[in-house]
Structure 1
Amino acid sequence: MSDTGEEWQVARRRKGAARKSQSLQVPSVCSQEQLDIGKTVKRIRDTVSELRCEEFWHKWKKAGSAALSKPPVNRDNEGHADLQGSSKEGKLWQQLECVCYGLGSFSSCVSARFQLAMLLLLLEAEQIPLKDCSVYDPAFSTGERTVLSELGLTVLKENEEGKCLVTKPTLFYLMHCGKALYNNLLWKNWSVQRLPLMIIIGNSFNGMMDRTLEREFKRDYSYITQAVSVCEERQLPCPSRLIDVFSDTAVITFPTGSLNRLPQSTWAQPPEPQYQHCSDLEIIQRETQS
């Protein structure tokens, strides 16, 4: 998808839906020719160093490690995850992957740059190889995609709308993304076998519900509505000076025991979300072929 001013405005609305937008004067397009790749990479690494010295980062690190320190996942002969089958002690699941959606234009938005720096710190702390972290946002310019590649991350080429099917333990980093993206992710992995493979660092599901009319939330975001009762949320701290960057962020996990308490009918043929009643969907949908 090309980098247009319209896309930028939609992306800004999406990120602003979960928090107050910063009053930043930024260009709508940032091409590779305009963007100094080396300077931008250095700025991001400097921001990583700045965050590393923050007290709240150490609390994030501790909470993230607690969520990830689960028994490794075994698989049966058909490749399905067996979450109960291993009691071997170890740091966390082996070969953990990461997916990041919705960072925004980090070359021109201070909040997005801090969020990217935090992602890099989390990858380092959990020993996730940079190449095993996939990132995507329609707002990325050509230059920003180059910067992400220079940092070692894997830049996705297609808009998945959050519909990412997990096959192994995966950390999802979804800072201030639209509710539909979370809902799509849950729908795509709506089973007792797949949900426990996901760890989400993003907006609190309870917070989303509190900010939305209950009737509309249940109608439009049914998977988040159902997940609230069975997921575990650990609220992450946020200093007042970074309230626009990290507010209302939680580590969200899906314990197998909680999921098993739901009736089996919960998991039967879950319908794909349509959002026909949503006037402001908060995410950029993929272009459909005419």
Structure 2
Amino acid sequence: MSETGEEWQVARRRKGAARKTKSLQVSSTCSQEELDIGKTVKRIRDTVSELRCEEFWQGWKVLLCSAAGSAALSKPPENRDTEGPADQLGSSKDGRLCQQLECVCYGLGSFSSCVSARFQLAMLLLLLDAGQIPLKDCSVYDPAFSSGERAVLRELGLTVLTENEEGKRLATKPTLFYLMHCGKALYNNLLWKNWSVQCLPLMILIGNGFNGMMDRTVGREFQRDYSYIAQAVSVCEERRLPCPSRLIDVFSDTAVITFPTGSLNRLPQSTWAEPPEPQYQHCSDLEIIQRETQS
């Protein structure tokens, strides 16, 4: 599968994109082909250190730990039998999360030339550290990545996917999905793939809030084209993540979204019966390009 930009087009919503804050101005004078891997890794790690000192980061950390604890309790019973109470709660003796989550990141963007994408990558690394998720257990994909950027991600220890999954990744264990400012179709595909009472509670989703998506889309079109998001709005738990004004273009409208089993069980059983795969034949401005092999 080719990793060119034609394969998957990620549309990014930038609230107030015309406003350039001094702290986020960036000059991309070097091409991606000339990317200095060592310097780029250092720049990312410096950004991690910068975010770690931000007050709002503590809010993100608390909400992640809370969500991860709930997701850990949603593991299949056979996976819990060999674990003690601390493991089931997702907590270790020092209060941090046990290494039982994995992570998938889609649509990060070109972080070597886009400062917003670099901050989002730095936040991802902070979340992995807070959740005690091994770097190798975090898979990342975006066709916008250059060969140099893929090398940087591998140098950081992350796993770089080579196939366009279109967001259709099944959660078989508690999983953090990190989708910053991605298109609605990507979220919708992810929900469709996990559309069951067993899989949805395993998901922790950090990305654009579903309520905001619904408010910005014509109701009839939202129900028709993004039916899984539309149904999820009423049963998910969406908690807005704090964002300082200087980073509004980076982390605006970001929430941590979970799917409590109790809420899902209130829906009729017919909700889960043979959910049809999204096709998007009516979408003229689809924010994801589908695989050529898909009909």
TM-score (norm 2): 0.87
Other-structure match for 2:35? 35
> Structure 1 residues 161, 289: CA separation in 2 closer, same or farther (over 3 Å shift)?
closer
Contact 1:200 1:253 in 2 (8 A): yes
1:49-93: CA deviations, max 9, x gaps?
Answer: 01011011111111111111235455356x8x99xxx79544157
RMSD of aligned C-alpha atoms?
Answer: 2.6
Check if 1:15 corresponds to 2:16: no
Paired with 2:294 and 2:271, the residues of 1 have a C-alpha distance of 33
From 139, 147, 150, the equivalent of 1:145 is 150
Check if 1:255 corresponds to 2:260: yes
1:157-207: CA deviations, max 9, x gaps?
Answer: 000010001111100011001000000000001000000000001100000
Contact 2:40 2:112 in 1 (8 A): yes
One-letter amino acid of the counterpart of residue 30, structure 1: Q
Other-structure match for 1:47? 47
Equivalences, count: 279
One-letter amino acid of the counterpart of residue 258, structure 1: S
Paired with 1:193 and 1:27, the residues of 2 have a C-alpha distance of 48
Check if 1:102 corresponds to 2:107: yes
One-letter amino acid of the counterpart of residue 51, structure 2: L
Check if 1:223 corresponds to 2:228: yes
Other-structure match for 2:128? 123
Check if 1:67 corresponds to 2:67: yes
| Percent identity (aligned) | 76
Contact 2:236 2:257 in 1 (8 A): yes
> Structure 1 residues 201, 272: CA separation in 2 closer, same or farther (over 3 Å shift)?
same
Contact 2:180 2:206 in 1 (8 A): yes
TM-score (norm 1): 0.88
Instruction: Within 5 Å, give how 1:93-242 maps onto structure 2.
Output: 95-242=100-247
Contact 1:131 1:152 in 2 (8 A): yes
> What SS is found at the alignment partner of 2:42?
helix
Paired with 2:32 and 2:250, the residues of 1 have a C-alpha distance of 21
Paired with 2:89 and 2:116, the residues of 1 have a C-alpha distance of 38
Give 5+ residue unaligned stretches, structure 2. Answer: 21-25, 92-96
Give 5+ residue unaligned stretches, structure 1. Answer: none
1:222-275: CA deviations, max 9, x gaps?
Answer: 000000000001100111111110000000000000000000000000000000
> What SS is found at the alignment partner of 2:32?
coil
